[in-house]
């Protein structure tokens, strides 16, 4: 048949292969776009957490608090004095209680890990106990969960291995 030899004519099977190849290419493009979007959003999440630390460091707790969702869950239950708080008011109360325990409290961020919609911060906190006068130092892991540009959950771990386990990482 002359029609089958024509280079511009495609059989039903040939056009299906072409459509299949086009669909595969489109799927790869969409997957690449989703990956790039996740990477960009993930970077934005790290920057959001960094802005919290910057605001807190410059003594602007209102600015730091603005990055948290109004219904944020703060889980400090892994800490010896810990508890779970809901919303800005309880988050603030937990922080005030913690910081009120120490003279000269300070925190040094050692590492920030991008985990997609979560950000893990490893830091060392130092201070002098107000009642005891004893110098204190401890490493913590802070896990921030972010949705729609706001921190929705903040979990504090006083045991780094438990934090790593919670996010599926090894020490």
* Residue 84 confidence (pLDDT) above 60: yes
The CATH fold assigned to 31-167 is Nuclear Transport Factor 2; Chain: A, (3.10.450)
> Does residue 127 contact residue 105 with C-beta atoms inside 8 Å?
yes
Q: Taking the domains of the chain in order of start, what are their residue ranges? A: 31-167
In this prediction the pTM is 0.75
Mean pLDDT, the chain, whole residue set: 84
Mean pLDDT of 41-46: 83
Please say if the pLDDT value at position 129 is more than 60.
Answer: yes
Reported as a single tens digit per residue, the pLDDT across 3-32 is 444 444 444 555 555 555 566 666 665 445
* Per-residue model confidence (pLDDT) at position 41: 53
Q: Supply the DSSP string of 3-56, one letter for each residue.
A: HHH-TT---HHHHHHHHHHHHHHHHHHHHHHHHHHHHHHHHHHHHHHHHHHHHH
> Please, what is the Cα angle at 144 between 140 and 150, to 5 degrees?
150
């Amino acid at each position: 048949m002359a029609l089958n030899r024509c280079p511009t004519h495609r059989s039903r099977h040939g056009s299906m292969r072409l459509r299949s190849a086009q669909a595969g290419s489109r799927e790869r493009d969409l997957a690449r776009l989703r990956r790039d979007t996740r990477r960009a959003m993930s970077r934005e999440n790290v920057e959001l957490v960094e802005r919290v630390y910057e605001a807190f460091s410059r003594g602007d707790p209102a600015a730091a608090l603005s990055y948290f969702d109004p219904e944020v869950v703060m889980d400090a239950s892994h800490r010896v004095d810990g508890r779970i708080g809901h919303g800005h008011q309880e988050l603030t109360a937990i922080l005030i209680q913690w910081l009120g325990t120490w003279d000269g409290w300070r925190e040094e961020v050692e590492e920030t890990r991008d985990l997609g919609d979560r950000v893990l911060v490893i830091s060392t906190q130092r201070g002098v106990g107000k009642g005891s006068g004893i110098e204190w130092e401890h490493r913590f892991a802070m896990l921030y969960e972010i949705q729609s540009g706001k921190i929705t959950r903040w979990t504090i771990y006083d045991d780094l291995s438990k934090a790593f386990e919670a996010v599926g990482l090894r020490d």
